[in-house]
Amino acid sequence: MIGYCASALVVVSLAMTSVVRLRAVSLVGSIAFVVYGVGIESPPIIATNVAIVGLNVWFLSKELGGGRNLAATVVPADDPFLVDFLRYHLDDIHRFQPTFELAGPPAGHQVALLLMRDGLPAGALVGRVHEGELRIALDYVTKPYRDSQISTWLYGKGAGVFRRLGIDRITTAPGTEPHSSYLARSGFHRVGDHFQLDLHP
């Protein structure tokens, strides 16, 4: 039974789209295989899965412990790459922010950020600035990086990108319940019909 459970966990981990969840489930599966290997007295199974445990722990510590290369790059709101990126992920975006739609040419002072992870696009933020307040129309991270705390970084240590744009307050609509929970975890607080985050110097 231990061997079957370990095998099932490894298979399930390969179906995960989230990098963090993949590593976490794989870690549990490899620990179960170590137990299985000890039970049947198989040094090859024990040695292989002890190594896999070590690799999973190392990657998880890098993923969650600040070893990531995160960035937010300001791009034009009608940048072709950004538009294609959002169009490709539009169905997933609507799961959390169902009212978001791809707009035409930008009007007014519109701001767009590509959220980067290790040099690759991992998400996007789009909004409009008025008198130092950024009203977010979209705050989105792709499935593989949704558990990687990119937004925690953006609204914390990475918030300098907003200050350089003259932004000292961020507001956004609640979206769906999961999106509202995410906003609360990111430091936003509810004010009337919207969420708000005040940026401190």
68-111 pLDDT, tens digit each: 788 899 998 889 999 999 999 999 999 888 888 876 544 557 89
Whether residues 119 and 157 share a domain: the answer is yes
Q: How confident is the model at residue 67 (pLDDT cuts 50, 70, 90)?
A: low
Last residue of a domain, one of 14, 39, 64: 64
Q: Tell me, yes or no, whether 50 and 123 share the same domain.
A: no
Calpha distance 35→16 (Å, rounded): 23
Domain that holds residue 190: 70-198
Kindly report the CATH number assigned to the domain that includes residue 120: 3.40.630.30
- pLDDT value at residue 123: 93
Same domain? For 79 and 57 the reply is no
Please count the other Cβ atoms lying within 10 Å of the Cβ belonging to residue 189.
10
Name the residue among 44, 18, 20, 22 with its Cα closest to residue 33. Answer: 44
- Asked if 20 and 97 sit in the same domain, the reply is no
Helices (H) and strands (E) in the chain, counts: 8, 7
Which range among 24-28, 125-129, 137-141, 146-150 shows the weakest confidence by mean pLDDT? 146-150
Same domain, 89 and 108: yes
Q: What is the DSSP letter of 18?
A: S
Domain stop point among 26, 44, 64: 64
Let me know whether 143 and 44 are in one domain: no
Look over the chain and give the mean of its residue pLDDT values, rounded to a whole number: 85
Q: How many Å from the N-terminal Cα to the C-terminal Cα in the chain?
A: 56
- Of residues 42 and 147, more confidently modeled: 42
pTM comes to 0.71
pLDDT at 108: 56
CB of 140 closer than 8 Å to CB of 124: yes
Pairing of strands 169-172, 189-191: unpaired
* Whether residues 34 and 79 fall in one domain: no
- Number of domain units in the chain: 2
pLDDT above 70 as % of the chain: 93
74 and 36 share one domain: no
